[in-house]
Amino acid sequence: MSKLAEKVQQDLLRAIDNDELVLPTLPEVALRVREAAEDPDVSIQDLSRVIGNDAALTARIIKVVNSPLLRTNKEITDLQMAIGRLGINYTSNLATGLAMEQMFQATSDVVDRKMREVWNKSTEIAGICHALCRHYTRLMPDQATLAGLVHQIGVLPVLTYAEEHSELLADSISLNHVIERIHPIIGDRILKTWEFPAPIASVPSQYLNFERDSAKVDYVDLVQVATLQSYVGTQHPYTAMDWTRIPAFAKLGIDPNADLKDDEDLSAAMEAAMGMLQ
């Protein structure tokens, strides 16, 4: 590790330990959506009014409900109808996840490109999680999608730091090393601060722990397998690992040596799920 990467890593870890790291806050619309959804008496109309204040988010929700995975015979063009079709909890989790795209923006071109790259990877993983969840588990697809969308949320503060330290931006190898080392720790901290449920809040720090073996299948397993599957056919180091030794595959009932794209139905579901989030 370079001296620069080591210094940045120490600075960020010290800031985390001393509670001095400025963590990002959820976008306002996501906060309002969550607050509304936590009200046991909330109606579809109430949630529609909250989401309807954000035209871009409204369009994304309608796009999702009309995606090949979820659409009915009749096209849905109205937000209230979309919420009625998805349900309040599903809509709330989806809106919370999609609203986070607003956070992946920067003032410098280098950081902005990196944030776009991270967000695009997050939507890819979220789409695969959604499809795997529906095919192999009884977990909630909306929470699986949300887990995929937030699994790299800890990258944001690292890139914010980099934006203020030009020497780190100029050294992409050091920047990537710091991101890989630090983002899982920060990600957990962010999601706990945002009061995300524990099964999702632990995803950032656990999804790359390939020896992890929980008592039953969970959202970490989904994100872990989705991440590995996303690199099939590439030269990424993960593809050189022995996947038969990774417990998450067994818990999902997936053959680690199989290419899931060979299953036409599952492959189509993954493509549709990724498409609906982009």
Mean pLDDT by 10 residues, the chain (278 residues): 78 85 90 94 96 95 89 88 95 95 89 94 95 96 96 94 86 88 91 94 97 97 97 94 97 92 87 86
Contacts of 275 (CB under 8 A, 6+ apart): 67, 68, 127
DSSP string, 11-37: HHHHHHHTT-S-PPPPPHHHHHHHHHH
Q: What are the tokens at 249? A: 């595959």
- Alpha-carbon distance of 214 to 238, in angstroms, equals 21
User: 């887990």: which residue's tokens?
Assistant: 147
For residues 147-156, one letter each, b for 16 or more C-beta atoms within 10 angstroms of the residue's C-beta and e for the rest, the string is bbbbbbbbbb
Position 1 scores a pLDDT of: 62
Position 66 scores a pLDDT of: 92
Q: What are the tokens at 1? A: 């590790």
Which residue ranges form the domains of the chain, and what is each CATH number? 3-22+105-277 (1.10.3210.10)
Residue 170 host element (H or E): none
Tell me the torsion sign for CA atoms 265, 267, 271, 277.
positive
Position 278 scores a pLDDT of: 82
89 contacts 37 by C-beta, under 8 angstroms:
yes
Position 73 scores a pLDDT of: 81
Position 166 scores a pLDDT of: 85
